[in-house]
Amino acid sequence: MDLKALATSELKMPKFGRSKQSSDSAEVEAAAQPAGTAVATPEVSPLREKPASTGKRGLGKIELGSLSSIKLSRPAMPSLGASLKRSGGGTVVGLNIEPGRAVAVRVARHGGAVAVEQSVIAEIPGGVVRDGDVADAEALASALKEMFDRSGLPKRVRVGMAGNRSVMRVLLLPPISDKKELAAAVRFTAEKEMPMPLNVAVTDFQTLGEIETPAGPRQRVVFVAAHREPVTKLLDALRRAGISVSGVDLSAFALIRSLHEPAVESEDGDTYLYVNVDGLTNIAIADGTMCLFTRAASVGLESMAAELAARAEIQLEPARERVVACDLLAEPDADSVDAQIVVGDGMREVAVEVRTALDFHRSQQDGLPVKGIVLSGGAASINGFAEQLSEATAMPVEVRTVEVAPGSGDAANTSHLAIAAGLAVQEAAR
């Protein structure tokens, strides 16, 4: 894969229908500046499903201590794209690992279109993955091994990464043609911009062309920094599970890859905020498929389940079930009131993260108003979540899910598949 394709090429994939659910409202201003911005990408057609509801609408070499075989590949779609040396051909499975859940997806072409052909979702014990980072590699490896052995999926994956210790920035530098001078300038600028010391991080960059600014022409450079420790722990868990890693991508990029829908040309643009609320919350703002901002937040279905388990004095597993079964629009009763309170509070936390991302975007990207919010993840199937998120953010919210091939599994679980499907699509498009 070639990261320069992010700025110079297009990868076309067949368009699908989508699950669409939205509600209208006006824009709202928000609060503090979050960490993260991101990267330009070519236009692709995503994986989507037919309407289900109502309403409107890498980068070069990378060193990881002793993991010297890892290299950043060069994606043709939104992707961080860190990858290991390939051991040959074969199907690559998209693997998304979050607190409380792992999702693996295999996609294939059906009649010239790409759709999910096989998927498996497995619960992960509480505390094994925290805030997107692996806390217990041995326990995660055990859960993943059982998951892949049971499903029969190929043990060759592209895995997603999300968390506060993976950061992207778009840097604006004077045009520099000499590669060594550019590298030095990028490093110097990034050291001031990044929220972590670069000597403890995996880093890389890629130029994305020049733009005109009030200060004159500037070269856009996307810079990526990921703390070494979580990357190493993730790869160690996969190795223990007997899983071969083809690549490591940013989960937010996979989300855009799955759910972006090319817009009919209009004056108000094609800029949306994507929010996937599952084990944690992934947020991305993209103009078309050009990712402008990424952020991960710890609030998600797993934190809601943990809160409900403590509040109702029940085990984590039944708490998880009550969270996803919650109906925010129903009249509460003795059995549902605790879940409604916890999920409602969680929704408001997500809304704060969304408003913060919107506020930061507006301060950085003049002239690119966000048209609406695209919601996915397990929260998208919670009745009333989209409506209340729309009300809390004063933005229209639309639910989208990926397309699933006929006879390929439980359609009720499609809300969980977006990120894993976006990771797998990278391979299916080749």
pLDDT in tens, 171-215: 889 999 898 999 999 989 988 888 788 888 877 787 877 888 888
- Show Cβ contacts of residue 320 under 8 Å, excluding neighbours closer than 6 positions: 100, 123, 301, 302, 305
The CATH number corresponding to 5-428 among 3.40.50.620, 3.40.50.1110, 3.30.420.380, 3.20.20.10 equals 3.30.420.380
SS3 344: helix
Residue 148 DSSP code: H
Q: What is the 3-state secondary structure (H, E, C) of 161-221?
A: ECCCCEEEEEEEECCCCCHHHHHHHHHHHHHHHCCCCHHHEEEEEEEEEEEEECCEEEEEE
SS3 227: strand
Take residue 29 and report the two structure tokens written for it. 């201003």
pLDDT in tens, 295-320: 899 999 999 999 999 999 999 999 99
Higher pLDDT, 9 or 94: 94
Take residue 214 and report the two structure tokens written for it. 């009030």
Report yes or no: 273 and 284 within 8 Å, Cβ to Cβ.
yes
Residues 268, 269, 270, 271, CA torsion sign:
negative
User: Which residue has tokens 């409900």?
Assistant: 308
**87 phi, psi to nearest 5 deg:** -100, 10
Cβ count near 184 (within 10 Å): 12
- Show Cβ contacts of residue 123 under 8 Å, excluding neighbours closer than 6 positions: 100, 101, 143, 317, 320
pLDDT in tens, 315-371: 999 999 999 999 999 999 998 999 999 999 999 999 999 999 999 888 875 657 899
Distance CA 357, CA 283 (A): 8
Provide the angle, in degrees to the nearest 10, between the axes of the packed helices 385-393 and 337-364: 40
Is the pLDDT confidence value at 130 over 50? yes
Model confidence, pTM? 0.78
User: Which residue has tokens 């989508």?
Assistant: 18
Distance CA 389, CA 158 (A): 31
